[in-house]
Amino acid sequence: MGALLKLVLDVIVTALGLWAVTALVPGIGILPPETTVYTDGQYDHALMFLAVAVVFLLVNAVIGPILRTLGAPVTCVTLGLFALVINAVVLWLTAWVSGQLGLGLFVDGFVPALIGAAVLAVVRGALGLLTGGFRRH
């Protein structure tokens, strides 16, 4: 049960982080697909962000370790700053995958991805501190 709670919290924290990124970083956003428009013309932002958060966590779990391993020498030389570039690539790949799945996340270039990765890291770190007590059990 503890692993399931940790996974759910990770998805929620990541979704909130992605919401903050789309609100704060120009060039990153979520476009609603036409299939999720309801009769009143609105679409459910929360479900879109949760779905993109799941994609982000999967991309980060599969591709992230490969990129971090290959980039380890450069990360050491740059005293860890290259890790931000790796996180930007993961965010960019997440946007590509979510676009292929029709989830609508877009990133308009590498600079927005780099800024978005920094914002996402800060928000996920801050929210991770708040949910840390739930994750220990």
What pLDDT shows up at residue 42? Answer: 54
Give SS3 for 110: helix
Query: Model confidence over 30-81: pLDDT tens digits?
Result: 876 555 445 555 557 788 899 999 999 999 999 999 999 999 999 999 999 9
Q: pTM value?
A: 0.86
Residue closest to 20 by CA, chosen among 31, 28, 32:
28
Query: What is the C-alpha separation between 114 and 89, in angstroms, rounded?
Result: 8
**Are 95 and 106 contacting, i.e. CB atoms less than 8 angstroms apart?**
yes
pLDDT of 61 reads 96
Average pLDDT, the chain: 87
Residue 49, domain extent: 2-135
Looking up tokens 């994750």 gives 135
Separation CA 15–CA 29 (nearest Å) = 13
Helix (H) or strand (E) holding 126: helix 110-130
pLDDT at 40: 52
Q: From CA 128, how far away is CA 42, in angstroms rounded? A: 30
Please tell me the predicted confidence (pLDDT) of residue 90.
Answer: 96
Check residue 104 and give its pLDDT: 83
* Higher pLDDT, residue 42 or 17: 17
Confidence (pLDDT) at 128: 84
Indicate the number of domains in the chain.
1
pLDDT at 135: 60
> Looking at the chain, which runs of residues are DSSP E strands?
28-30, 105-107
CA distance 132 to 111: 31
Task: Give the residue with greater pLDDT, 86 vs 30.
Answer: 86
